[in-house]
Amino acid sequence: MISGYLSNHFTGIASKRLSAVEIDPTTSNQHEFDGVTILKRIFGTEKQRFKAVFICLQDDEDCFATADGFVTWYDARKRDPQRSEFRLYYPNNDVMELAKKDDLLIIGKRPDDTLMVLVAQAGSTYERQLIWLFGIEDELIKFDVKQIENKNDIELNLAAKFILEELGIEYSMYDERWLGQIIDRFGENFPGTSVFSAFARSTLKGVSVWDDPDSAVMAWLDHEEMLFRTLEKHIVEKDLQKGWKSVDEFISYSLGIQNRRKSRAGWALEHHLNQVFRDYGLAYDTGKETENRSKPDFLFPGVGCYHNPNFPSDLLSMLGVKTSCKDRWRQVLAEAIRIDTKNLFTIQPGISENQTDEMKANKLQLLIPKQIRDTYTRRQQEWLMSLLDFVELVKSREKEANKKGLI
């Protein structure tokens, strides 16, 4: 089963910018959202109480908060049909206490009739991601409501899946038709990451780095994710039958699953980029020390040239690789001191303009696959570099070094 559409996870959403009266206890204690009449399109006209999970999303990870609760939908003037006044009540909780005026509020109705109440910090990466995922207009004074169907539905690409996981939504991405072939090759064990990435590339036909390296890497990642989740599902289901002796043992097992997923995804991205650079015949080293124990993920045309004081620094290139940046992009700034402008490849969608402006100020060039560029603003897209752009830049520098007899 592959849950390939947004409608598998949300049936409708309502979005708006929060006003002071909705969240500021010094202004009001009403604990109700304003302008809710339009919500009848997804909630109907009968009084209902929905189970809800509240999530606060801020770029400062220390401010991340979740809370279980409920939301009540009702007509405060039900007895007066001429003066209906619908309201949406929420109880006080840690998430709403962190909310601020102009933060983006999204109330998402799930297929099981529970709600997800998301509060994304204004100007944050999370806000940018949710605006793209749900196709939301930036300026929202009153609630905008849409059913997740037809033109409002989207097929889940890697960027969408990335965002859903950030929200704690487990999406099904497996295909048991591949299970026999995987077990025949590797048995009922998780193989090494480089071997599994090579297997993913070999089993995905019709992909060529020469046509479009950006598309190739994204297709390989997507295919490998499906293969991995297929094997993982098989192994974990067998473990579930065995059970655990204690809660601590179960929690440890669960954390192991999450850590394996994150680690494998990072290694997979590096392995597939390795294949692109090999196919294009680029000279480079991986994980070699430059100075102060720093080890860039990729160093072009190699560590020998880097440590040669006669090799021009403007013909050197480096590339850091991170599936998601968050604040960790700053780690790349300390790598390969001889290289003035650092490069970082990521598949994280919709990084905020505040973050990318800070990257530019620190001479860090962001590489984003073309397939997720539309999660960024137009101003950001003018600055972003694609994988193909980077390959061509490195090739031109290598050609110049060859002309000078340096390599």
Of 174, 284, 306, 376, which is the active-site residue?
306
Question: Contact 88/36 with Cβ under 8 angstroms?
Answer: yes
Please check the confidence at residue 236 and state whether its pLDDT lies above 90. yes
> Are β-strands 12-17 and 104-109 bridged in parallel, bridged antiparallel, or unpaired?
antiparallel
Is 90 exceeded by the pLDDT of residue 298? yes
Name the pLDDT band for 79 (thresholds 50, 70, 90).
low
Amino acid type, 305: C
* C-alpha–C-alpha distance, residues 397 and 399, integer Å: 5
Is residue 126 part of the annotated active site? The answer reads no
| pLDDT confidence bin for 8, thresholds 50/70/90 | very high
* Measured distance CA(3)–CA(172) in Å, rounded: 5
Counted residue by residue, the chain has a size of 407
pTM, entire model: 0.89
- Cβ burial of 198 (10 Å; 0-12, 13-18, 19+) is middle
Per-residue model confidence as pLDDT tens digits over 338-356? 999 999 999 999 999 999 9
Angle made by CA atoms 141, 142, 148, in degrees to the nearest 5: 120
Distances (CA, A) of 198 to 92, 108, 156, 261: 51, 39, 24, 17
285-403 CATH fold: Restriction Endonuclease (3.40.91)
As to burial, measured by CB atoms within 10 angstroms (0-12 exposed, 13-18 middle, 19+ buried), residue 105 is buried
| CA–CA gap between residue 351 and residue 324 (Å, rounded) | 9
Share of the chain above pLDDT 70, in %: 95
Topology adopted by domain 176-279: Restriction Endonuclease (3.40.91)
CB 161, CB 173: distance < 8 Å: yes
The answer to whether the 176-279 and 285-403 domains have the same CATH topology is yes
Position 108, amino acid: G
Tell me, what's the pLDDT at 158? 82
| Rounded Cα distance, 84 and 25, in Å | 26
Domain ranges, ordered by start, for the chain: 10-155, 176-279, 285-403
Mean pLDDT of 195-208: 95
Find the mean pLDDT for residues 146-165: 87
pLDDT score of 142 more than 60 = yes
State the CB neighbour count (10 A cutoff) for residue 383. Answer: 14
Q: Given this structure, which CATH class describes domain 10-155?
A: mainly beta
Q: Is the pLDDT of residue 303 over 70?
A: yes
